[in-house]
Amino acid sequence: MKKALTNISTEERYGALSIHSYEELAVLHAIAKILAQPEELRDQLEKVLQEMSAHLGMQRGMISLLDREKKEVWLDIAHDINIDGMDVIYKPGEGITGKVAETGRPMAIANLGQATHFLDRTGARKHLNRSELAFLCVPIIYDDSVVGVLSADKVAQAVEDLDKELAMLSSVAELMAKAVHIRALEEENRRLRKIVGSARPPSIDIIGHSKPMQEVFGLVAQVADSNTTVLITGQTGTGKELIAQAIHMNSSRRNGPMVQVNCAAIPDTLIESELFGHEKGAFTGALQQRRGRFEEANGGTIFLDEVGELSAAAQVKLLRVLQEKKFQPLGSSRVVKVNVRIIAATNRNLEQDILAERFRADLFYRLNVFPIYLPALRERGSDIILLADHFILKYSKEMGKNVKKISSAAVEAFLSHKWPGNVRELENCIERAVLMSNGDTIECMHLPPSLQAKEKELDKKEPGKLSYVVEAQERTLILDALEETGGNQTKAAKILGTTKRIIQYKISKLDINPKLFRKKNKNSNEAD
């Protein structure tokens, strides 16, 4: 035997099913059944490692997860190895595990005693004869990206073909890919809560550790302690108001007022009075003098929300204030000077509105001094689960319930949903789910009907790799059993450890013709 470095493509991984023995296919089928059970992901993955040890001879199995930001790999689950209290981390390219995670290519070492780059960070092989062990290590790939690493030892004398061993381990990794992906997101969020504490976002109400949100936090930190005008853009429900509050609270104006104006809610006839105030008798209904929002915000910040909805006349008046820093209340001859920091926000594309002559270019350039774009929730990756956990705690406390977690199926639904309503939609979804839940876990049945319907539609149109591999394995197992029994479905069911009814259902579903096997085996006198 010799060292092998093998790169297995997606097609080769699927094609590898045909080279597996009957015993190996039976193990893959058992693993698929384990992963289909409604259990905690950690319990499922531990059982998979146990199955590998009991029936494939793969000892000291380990599942390591990839930190997508740092590209580091940390050991999460192990079998036959005590990792309690240990924090085993591999940097990119470090050791065999780090190399597999970095390159996405499987590696096999025929003789661990000759492998100088094998680190054994757990110390599990300290008292073993490494020359008697082979080491197998494959990437766990989900959605064409490495999400983790699966590795195991095997007695060297029991290894006949390293490539076949890698193909088998790759098939196991393919089956567990989705579960490991979700597990990695869950563990990443738990680990990142500590990091969030040391690199706190600018406001306790703003939650996020994704790269897009870290960029937003950096911009907030840069602009907060200045008088620069800020324009916040992003879809409805992304949290533009929270960012405006964070800028104000982290500025030297934090002790001054922050006045919010919803520009879309003010009629054109009242916009001048609302922003700049009026004198008594300035118009019908002006029974007393009133200070405008700009004057109320003196010494602090004014937040012009939905500024893109201002009419042309209102845009002219706002532009004048931005240019001159002073104004006259309606019906008054006095000039009011203000010291106000302006933050504006919109969900519109103002540059397109300028081309359509709907928004003034000169006003846009006055507002767009320091632009901050808030990403849509679907662009924020694992922040979805981080936010969901936050809202679960919030509404569980409000409603006096004991909801603590989200089921794996619900997590998958959250991650595949497009969230057109962004964070606001997610919060409403969690509030409803907490209200409907009677236990400590949010299940798919607690999600809004629209979200459930969407996931069912996706399941029909885009079956995942897991279901593809499971179906292929089921088909191979049934074909082999029918071949062995000459098409006898009763005997085939006994071989596979199931019932004749289930075999008949699977045969119909997978479009298998048992009669073909009867023709091959003329000695089979028993018919179903």
What is the C-alpha radius of gyration for the chain, rounded to an integer number of angstroms?
A: 31
Query: For position 329, what pLDDT does the model report?
Result: 77
Q: How many residues are given for the chain? A: 528
Q: How confident is the model over 75-84, as pLDDT tens digits? A: 999 998 888 7
Structure tokens at 161: 């073909």
Q: What is the pLDDT of residue 242?
A: 92
pLDDT of 285: 63
Interaxial angle between packed helices 422-436 and 383-399, expressed in degrees from 0 to 180 and rounded to the nearest 10: 40
Which two tokens mark 4?
């092998």
Amino acid (1-letter code) at residue 211: K
CB 35 within 8 A of CB 27: no
Return d(Cα 364, Cα 354) in angstroms, integer.
8
Residue pLDDT tens, the chain, 528 long: 333 334 444 444 444 444 677 788 888 999 998 988 878 888 899 999 999 999 999 999 999 999 877 788 889 999 988 887 778 888 888 889 999 999 999 999 998 888 877 888 888 888 888 889 999 999 999 888 899 999 999 998 888 888 889 999 999 999 999 889 888 887 766 655 544 444 445 554 678 878 888 889 989 989 998 999 999 999 999 999 999 999 999 999 999 999 999 988 888 777 777 888 767 755 666 667 778 888 899 999 999 999 999 888 888 888 888 888 888 777 777 788 889 999 999 999 999 999 999 999 999 999 999 999 999 998 887 788 889 888 998 999 999 998 988 887 788 788 778 899 999 999 999 999 999 998 888 988 898 887 765 445 544 444 444 555 566 667 767 877 887 888 888 888 888 777 777 787 778 777 777 776 664 444 434 334
- Reading the block at residue 383, the tokens are 């922040």
Instruction: Give the separation between CA 384 and CA 413, rounded to whole angstroms.
Output: 11
pLDDT at position 382:
74
Reduce the DSSP state of residue 214 to 3 states and report it: helix
Q: How many CA atoms lie within 13 A of 150 on its CB side?
A: 27
Domains in the chain, CATH or no CATH each: 4-177 (3.30.450.40), 213-374 (3.40.50.300), 378-461 (1.10.8.60), 465-520 (1.10.10.60)
Q: Whose CA is closest to 429, among 459, 388, 396? A: 388
One-letter amino acid identity for 115? Answer: A
Residue 456, phi then psi, degrees to nearest 5: -65, -40
* Nearest of 425, 414, 413 to residue 386 by alpha carbon: 414
Q: What are phi and psi of 151, to 5 degrees?
A: -140, 160
- Residue type at position 79: H
Structure tokens at 380: 């924020």
How many helices (DSSP H) and strands (DSSP E) are in the chain? Answer: 20, 18
Sheet of 301-305: strand order equals 258-262, 301-305, 341-346, 230-233, 370-373
Q: What is the pLDDT of residue 467?
A: 56
d(CA 253, CA 332): 29
